[in-house]
Amino acid sequence: MTDDFGFSPLSRGAHRRAGRTVLQVAPALAEADGGLAVIAVAAALAEAGARPLVASPADRLVPELQAVGGVWIDFASQSRNPLAMPILRHSLKRLIEREQVELVHARSRRAGWIAQGAARAAKVPFVTSLTQLSPGQGPVRQRYTAVLARGDAVLAGSKFAADTATALYPQAAGRVALVRPGVDLRPFTPALIPAQRVQALRQLFGVAPDERILLLAAKPSVWKGHKVLIEAARILRERGVGDVKLVFVGDAQGSWS
């Protein structure tokens, strides 16, 4: 994704991906760190005239995916049962062949272990996104995560992730691509937000009329900057800036560890 966040509708049908079918295999969208990225990629593909399929378990973000043109397929990509893996791989291979999928993109480790075998058997390109990757992980977890380094293209969202991937999995060198995630800033345009909504949210958040808001929209996690923002607010207060209130908006499923 880029800051352009997709393609112009004027390019529909003319883009080189028009008419192609791309399958993303993902965990439950509302639970995955990259769930919104899955939806954003589906939206960009749909706008380019491609056919974006997403195989994932059912959850509350599925309607949002469908609203942007994504085609949702109920699939147990989060299964922890090793005995179910061959069945899931075969099922996914049949889906790839039936829908004439031209590229498979795995969005998590568990999805990767299923999608890799299915994509290879169906002889279509296999792409992975680096998630749940960190230095210092034990040998068992490192082997488990290795599937994310086996894509024909391995997408990293930051230079740190790209460097970590090549350090942990030297065999991936030359296949790691740095693709920085984009953010659609249009929903945050002040002129597009009614004053009544602003007032309602300030009341919901318990923010006084004379207070300013520091908003962080992300799951609670040390990786998202919550602790940094809390420390920054403490410093501001010590320096006499007391009219600031922190507001964290996001699913309470993250980890502070």
Q: What is the rounded CA–CA span in Å between residue 12 and residue 217?
A: 32
pLDDT in tens, 142-189: 788 889 899 999 998 888 888 888 888 999 989 999 888 777 788 888
Taking a C-beta distance cutoff of 8 angstroms, is the pair 44, 13 a contact?
A: no
pLDDT at 4: 32
Q: What is the rounded CA–CA span in Å between residue 182 and residue 188?
A: 14
> Residues 6 or more apart from 37 whose CB is under 8 A from it?
1, 107, 129, 181
Per-residue pLDDT of the chain (257 residues; tens, 9 = 90+): 333 333 333 344 456 777 899 999 999 998 766 788 899 999 999 999 999 999 999 999 999 999 999 999 999 998 888 889 999 999 999 999 999 999 999 999 899 999 999 999 999 999 999 866 666 667 777 788 889 899 999 998 888 888 888 888 999 989 999 888 777 788 888 888 899 999 999 999 999 989 999 888 877 766 677 888 899 999 999 999 989 998 988 776 544 43
pLDDT at 10: 38
DSSP letter for 32, please: S
pLDDT at 3: 32
pLDDT at 36: 85
Q: Does this model's pTM top 0.85?
A: no
pLDDT at 221: 67
pLDDT at 138: 73
pLDDT in tens, 89-107: 999 999 999 999 999 999 9
> Residues 6 or more apart from 82 whose CB is under 8 A from it?
none
> Residues 6 or more apart from 38 whose CB is under 8 A from it?
24, 26, 29, 32, 54, 56, 65, 107
Paired tokens of 218: 């992300």
